[in-house]
Amino acid sequence: MTPTSEPEGRFLKKCRQKKKERHNRISAKWKLLLSLLLLTVLSLSFIWFAQSFLLDKVYLGIQKKELREAGQELLTADPDSLSERMAEIGAEKNICISSYVIYKNSWITCRGDYKSKSNCNCLLHRLLSVSGDLHSSLSNPNGILDRSVLILDAANGALQNGGFCYLDSSNLESEAVAKENITVAYAVKTDELRTTVFFLNASVIPLGSTVKTMNTVMFGLSGIVLLCTAVFALLISFWITRPIEKINRAAKRLAKRDYSVHFDGKGYKEITELSDTLNYAAEELSKTDHLQRELVANISHDLRTPLTLISGYAEVMRDLPDEKNEDNLQIIIDESNRMKALVNDVLDISKIESGTAEMTMEPLALTNSIESELTRYNKLRDREGYSIEFIYDRQVSVEGDYSRLMQVVYNLVNNAVNYAGEDKKILVTQTVEQGKVTISVKDHGEGIPEEQLPLIWERYYKVDKTHKRATVGSGLGLSIVKGIVNAHKGTCGVSSTVGKGSTFWFTLDVLSETPLEN
């Protein structure tokens, strides 16, 4: 690489980047306007090209097709009414027709002749004059050419070419006359001795002056069309982009956390659907923002309280030697664990939602694991009088991550403890049905209103909005439960009656089961 090539490369890259930025700054309405104008210019250019260069070819192609169709009809016509049929086809297609029968390639008889009234310069009747011989003015080495020679040559050429051939009259007439006519010969052998030949001629109108006139008109019309298209495109572009611009302004307000904004895009289906989606997004963002504020307030409160206790007891133990006892140390340990649990909840839900939570799937004795997990609440039973009972009729194994599934059980039982009724009874039940094991945790607390049931699985949501020390929680426990159960391809749910309590449950696939002995 030369010393100047690298700076030049950076310069070109910078120019391309600036060009791209300028392109992105063009609004949708102007892009739409330019696109419509470009489409109009391309359409007009194609029309001009077609009428200037393709019109002659298309016209000749149509005339030849008409002659071929007429020849096919004549070949299948009834010989008894051939003259009438020739007249009908000639009048319908505005062509001249002559028919001859060749006997033993020597004797020629005219079977019929039709001359179009509008075909004044018919090459067919100039060459095959009924009077007998060709005109002596034809450019032929012999000066005068008998029409029988022309008929025989045309018949032989048609038979060799599959039944028809075009006559090349450029060596028989002037170039101008030849260009104004298309003559085709159709031949068919009637029997071994006779051959029937049809000559069809169509007049070709020179289109040069017509094309010039059309181009002149086209030039004027193009200007009018472009002007009308520009006005129409401008109106259409403003009509289409107006709701988009309106939504864009509202979206900028939403980006500034103005959740009161309302998207009211109308005009066509896509804009209406986009407005509905953005309104839903604004509503959900408002809920999330509100719940996050509650989370920050709750966690701040729950962190501040143990920090205050830890700090207070630590200072007392420092200043008063007699206070260095196990009870004060236990309080410091308990409050430290409370802070650790709050931080772990936040980390767990972040990992689960991002898909980075590690899960070690292996066979797990679910029944024994739950029974062992519930022993953690023995002190709670003895100290505060809680009754936690586990009912099951068989040992069940599942495939899953031990620590995560025990976290699910722990969170559900903790939730029941926090919201248990005055009887402080919590019932954990295991049931098995159709290859599924269901673990349910039931309390006799205040219950949850029916309209709040779909919301309790959301992050940061807490049924009891009054933050109390007795029911400490981050509002993430049930959301963690749902994430872990879903990762195990299970389901979870809740049923609740206000004033009677709630039952939370989750279901997993059974790996194996062993009924208990009576």
Q: What is the pLDDT of residue 228?
A: 84
Same domain for 402 and 431: yes
Show the domain range for 53.
23-76+207-256
Going by their DSSP bridges, the two strands 491-497 and 436-443 should be labelled as unpaired
- What is the rounded average pLDDT for all residues in the chain? 79
pLDDT tens-digit series, residues 218-277? 788 888 888 888 888 778 777 877 888 888 888 888 888 888 888 887 777 888 888 888
Q: What is the pLDDT of residue 431?
A: 94
Instruction: For residues 287-298, give the mean pLDDT.
Output: 75
Q: What is the pLDDT of residue 115?
A: 81
- Whether the pLDDT of residue 192 is over 90: the answer is no
Q: What is the pLDDT of residue 93?
A: 85
Determine the Cα–Cα distance for residues 250 and 140; give it in Å rounded to an integer.
88
Q: How confident is the model at residue 139 (pLDDT cuts 50, 70, 90)?
A: very low
Same domain for 465 and 435: yes
Same domain for 277 and 246: no
Domain final position from 175, 205, 235? 205
- Give the 3-state secondary structure of 126-180: HHCCCCCECCCCCCCCCCCCEHHHHHHHHHHHHHHCCCEEECCCCCCCCHHHHHC
pLDDT tens-digit series, residues 39-78? 888 888 888 887 777 777 888 888 888 888 888 888 888 8
Q: What is the pLDDT of residue 412?
A: 92
Placement of tokens 């007795």 in the chain: 470
Q: Are 345 and 474 in contact (CB under 8 A)?
A: yes
How many domains, the chain?
4
Q: Are 456 and 415 in contact (CB under 8 A)?
A: no
Amino acid at 327: D
Same domain for 334 and 442: no
- Of 31 and 333, the structure prediction assigns the larger pLDDT to 333
Same domain for 502 and 374: yes
Same domain for 402 and 464: yes
DSSP structural state of residue 516: P
- Whether the pLDDT of residue 199 is over 80: the answer is yes
Q: What is the CATH number of the domain that holds 423?
A: 3.30.565.10
- Whether the pLDDT of residue 493 is over 90: the answer is yes
Same domain for 377 and 500: yes
Same domain for 194 and 226: no
Q: How confident is the model at residue 395 (pLDDT cuts 50, 70, 90)?
A: very high
Span of 159-168, 366-375, 461-470, 507-516 with lowest mean pLDDT: 461-470
